Amino acid sequence: MQLAFGEARKLLNRYGLKTVRSSLCADRLGVLDASNRLRPPFVLKVVGGDVLHKTEKSLIFLNLESREDLEIALRKLSKRAKGLKFDGFLLQEQLKGVELILGGSRDPVFGPVVAFGSGGVLTELYKDISLRVAPFSKKDALEMIAETKASAFFTGEGFRGRKASRDRVASALVSLSKLMAERGEVSEVDLNPVIATQEAATIVDARVICHG
């Protein structure tokens, strides 16, 4: 059973994992109202229920700056999501930074496992993933980062001008490993993407699956 957006966020926050500033809205008016409290540019997407791969189904809009942008996006999303079961519209502040993926799962032999890699839609193509059995220390988390090509983003000069805080990402990995080790009911966590900057590692999208 997948946790609803609000519950997932609460669980992640409890373990010190930072989630992007956002608002789950039931309808158009809710979105427009929330846009006054958040800082543009926005991301608007349809969440919950049948929605898994948002990019492929075009259930996500980026770079929304104004009220007009939001109105257009809302119209299109409503049309595309017709017939799908979903919880509502999620309005988020759009972050710029390095796209990463953090995941948690349960291995039948070793128990809780945490995965780290480069994020975004090409994750599956590049298979740039490192794994550790949870829980683990910050030292393990740093090694995990070093094993992947994403480590280029954490070096002194970054990669093509993109740079992020190794320390914040390592802390997020340790937090996720703690969550996986302590919360036996959580069978799967998919944090994709996590946007890392020099100040923070922020979860933009999260899927948390629990037993039963």
Partner 1 sequence: MKGSVFASPFAKPFKGRIFAVNPNASEILGVKCIPSVKDAAGPVDLAVICVPAALVPTVLRECAEKKVKAAIVVSAGFAETGPEGRQKQEEIAAICRNAGMLLLGPNCLGVLRPASSLNASFGLGMPPSGGMAFVSQSGALADSVIDWALEQMYGFSALVSLGNSAGLNEADFVDWLASDAQTKAITLYLEGVRNGKAFMAAVRKAVANDKKVFVLKGGREGKGLKAVSSHTAAMAGSYPVFAAAMRQCGATVVDSLEELFVLGDAASKQPAARNGVAVITNGGGAGVLCADYCHRYGVQLVDLREKTLARLDRGGNMHSAYSRSNPLDLIGDALPERYAAALETLLSENYVHGLIVVQTLQTMTDSIGDAKAVVAASRRHPKKPVLCVFMGGPYSKEGICFLHEHGIPNFQDPLLAVKAMAALVGKI
Total residues contacting partner 1 by CB under 8 A comes to: 29
Q: Which stretch binds partner 1 (CB under 8 A): 22-30, 43-51, 62-70, 106-114?
A: 106-114
Interface residue with partner 1 among 68, 96, 108, 156 (CB under 8 A) is 108
**Least Å from the CB of residue 153 to partner 1:** 19
Among candidate residues 166, 102, 108, 171, the one with its CA nearest the CA of residue 131: 102
Tell me which residue has tokens 């944090």.
191
Dihedral angle over CA of 79, 83, 84, 89, nearest 10: 40
Q: What is the DSSP letter of 52?
A: -
**Least Å from the CB of residue 48 to partner 1:** 15
Q: Decide: is 111 part of the binding site for partner 1 (CB under 8 A).
A: yes
Q: Decide: is 32 part of the binding site for partner 1 (CB under 8 A).
A: no
Q: What is the DSSP letter of 10?
A: H
Q: Report the alpha-carbon distance of residue 121 to residue 56 in Å, rounded.
A: 9
Q: Decide: is 110 part of the binding site for partner 1 (CB under 8 A).
A: yes
Contact 51, 59 (CB under 8 A): yes
Q: Decide: is 5 part of the binding site for partner 1 (CB under 8 A).
A: no
Contact set for partner 1, span 175-204 (CB under 8 A): 188-190, 192
Closer CB to partner 1, 33 or 124, in the complex: 124
Interface residue with partner 1 among 107, 138, 182, 199 (CB under 8 A) is 107
Q: Decide: is 99 part of the binding site for partner 1 (CB under 8 A).
A: no
Q: Decide: is 51 part of the binding site for partner 1 (CB under 8 A).
A: no
**Least Å from the CB of residue 77 to partner 1:** 22
Closer CB to partner 1, 69 or 190, in the complex: 190
Q: Report the alpha-carbon distance of residue 101 to residue 124 in Å, rounded.
A: 11
Q: Identify the burial level of 167 via C-beta atoms within 10 angstroms of its C-beta, where 0-12 means exposed, 13-18 middle and 19 or more buried.
A: middle
Q: Report the alpha-carbon distance of residue 87 to residue 192 in Å, rounded.
A: 19
76: region left, alpha or beta (phi > 0 left; psi from -120 to 50 alpha): alpha
Q: Decide: is 124 part of the binding site for partner 1 (CB under 8 A).
A: yes
Q: What is the DSSP letter of 51?
A: -
Contact footprint for partner 1 (CB under 8 A): 52, 101, 103-111, 113, 115, 117, 123-124, 127, 129-133, 136, 140, 188-190, 192, 207
